[in-house]
Amino acid sequence: MKASYLLLGLALASTAPAVMAQAPTEDETILHAWTWSLDTIAANMKDIAAAGYAYVQTSPVQTCYVGDGGGMALFSEEGDSVMGKWYYYYQPTDWRIGNYMLGSRDDFRNMCDSARHYGVKVIVDVLPNHTAIDHTAVLPNLDNAVGGHENLYHANGFTPIRNYNDRLECTTGEMGGLPDVNTENPDFQYYYLQYVNDLINLGARGFRYDTAKHIGVHSDPLDPKAERNNFWDVATGREGVKGLTLLMPDSLYIYGEVLQDKNVPEKEYEEYMDMTASSYGHVLRDALRAGKVNEDMLTNWYHSSTPDHLVTWVESHDTYCNAHESADMTDEMMRMGWVFLTARQHGRPLFYSRPAGSTRENYWGNNRIGARGNDEFKHPEVVAANKFRTAMSGKAEEITTAKEGAVIEICRGDAGAALVNFSDKEQKVKMATSLPDGEYADAVYGNKFKVAKGNLEGRVAPMTSYILYAN
């Protein structure tokens, strides 16, 4: 380890951030600014704040594999004029801030300064589980810090996972060609924690842990090189390593990609972090495709954890990009799903920003890493839903449906309601509501509704959402 970096680590251990953050709440929403550069996020921070997002989530900002000659396409094939692939930033070669795809350490600092100015908190996508497929691309600083290249990986780190329900394979084996880091090595934990604390000192206030289910918890079997499965204790501030501890752990929002499979100890992960509600997202997308929903379908969270420990989404970057599971769905469908999720009492909704110019025929759109996504993150219905969630804090939800499940109402006590027409036809509705009697004007379009004797009446346009507030 270079002396300069050692001094940096000591400084991070003792330096408290100048601005104290409040503990996160369930009423907040997250904008996933997928592949936006740090400069692009900073330039759009005013719009992000005005749209009602409490958090903006970046893509991974650590040093990463330089693939396709450093090309900046989201995705390319041989012969394309611009080469590149978005997922190279999920292949670390070192844990320091800055990469060629998204920006430098100074760019990160400037983005956090902009976020602080507009009252937005920054979540960083982090991934300690693995390195680049080409492990020879790992930089000497990292190798030296962990006691040599052979100590960077689990004993099984180059053995491909064949059974994802085998917890030893899942937490210590090679995933999709990505060699598995020995996250239980105290030297690695120390080096990684310096990176995280550097992010916090510059302004990060939360972390999304990629491939979290691939890092073991206490009940998991031990890799031959490990003495304890204690990475999560260190990463979340429950214990220190070599005199270094996580900064301001009580003020950070931390969640993990713990995709729902058999034999994943979700309750143990819940002790450390919130988790992604991947099964719920799948069910919601099915309802949006069908244009209707059974009430019971979407009140069940399909998770062993309580909803206050879940990050909810209509789609994620993985469902959009990997197998294009959700990419065939329209922006209107995503918007309806967002209003529904965000109007609900529990969960923490995350809005995935699709590429600018994307269509159902061209998923990659303008196909440039660093560019801002499309305008959907600030669509009036999306903005209205974000603000509704904040305004309805603490109000109990009640979900009802009409027109054979085509129209859904989410009441938040007697204070307000969201209406979503999942169908592609205009609907005239008369449905039970907890809103007080009176005349209502939708907060987005000014559409008129009437409530009398516990029934809500009005017309709703196809694939459109409405927000109503009680006077």
Q: Which of 47, 210, 271, 457 is catalytic?
A: 210
List the one residue out of 369, 122, 136, 130 whose CA is nearest residue 253.
122
Structure tokens at 289: 């495709």
Structure tokens at 24: 């996160």
- What is the CA angle 87-91-92, rounded to 5? 140
pLDDT in tens, the chain (471 residues): 333 333 333 334 433 344 444 556 789 999 999 999 999 999 999 999 999 999 999 999 999 999 999 999 999 999 999 999 999 999 999 999 999 999 999 999 999 999 999 999 999 999 999 999 999 999 999 999 999 999 999 999 999 999 999 999 999 999 999 999 999 999 999 999 999 999 999 999 999 999 999 999 999 999 999 999 999 999 999 999 999 999 999 999 999 999 887 889 999 999 999 999 999 999 999 999 999 988 788 899 999 999 999 999 999 999 999 889 999 999 999 999 999 999 999 999 999 999 999 999 999 999 999 999 999 999 999 999 999 999 999 999 999 999 999 999 999 999 999 999 999 999 999 999 999 999 999 999 999 999 999 999 999 999 999 999 998
The size of the chain, in residues, is 471
Name the one residue in this structure whose structure tokens are 């795809």. Answer: 101
Q: Exposed, middle or buried by CB within 10 Å (0-12, 13-18, 19+), for 119?
A: exposed
Q: Is 223 a catalytic residue?
A: no
Torsions phi, psi for 320 (to 5 deg): -80, -45
Packing angle of the helix pair 105-118, 186-202 (nearest 10 deg): 50
Residue type at position 294 = N
Q: Is CATH 3.20.20.80 what the domain over 3-391 is classified as, yes or no?
A: yes
HSE, CB side, 13 Å, CA atoms: give it for residue 91: 22
Whether 397-469 and 3-391 are alike in CATH topology: the answer is no
pTM of the model: 0.94
Task: Give the Cβ contact number of residue 16 at 10 Å.
Answer: 10
Q: Is 257 a catalytic residue?
A: yes
Residue type at position 259 = L
Q: Which fold has domain 397-469?
A: Immunoglobulin-like (2.60.40)
HSE, CB side, 13 Å, CA atoms: give it for residue 378: 13
Question: Residue 83 and residue 92: Cα distance in Å, rounded?
Answer: 19
Name the one residue in this structure whose structure tokens are 């090189």. Answer: 225
Q: Which of 180, 257, 270, 409 is catalytic?
A: 257
The residue ranges of every structural domain in the chain are 3-391, 397-469
List the one residue out of 186, 263, 168 whose CA is nearest residue 231.
186
Torsions phi, psi for 267 (to 5 deg): -65, -35
3-class secondary structure, 236: coil
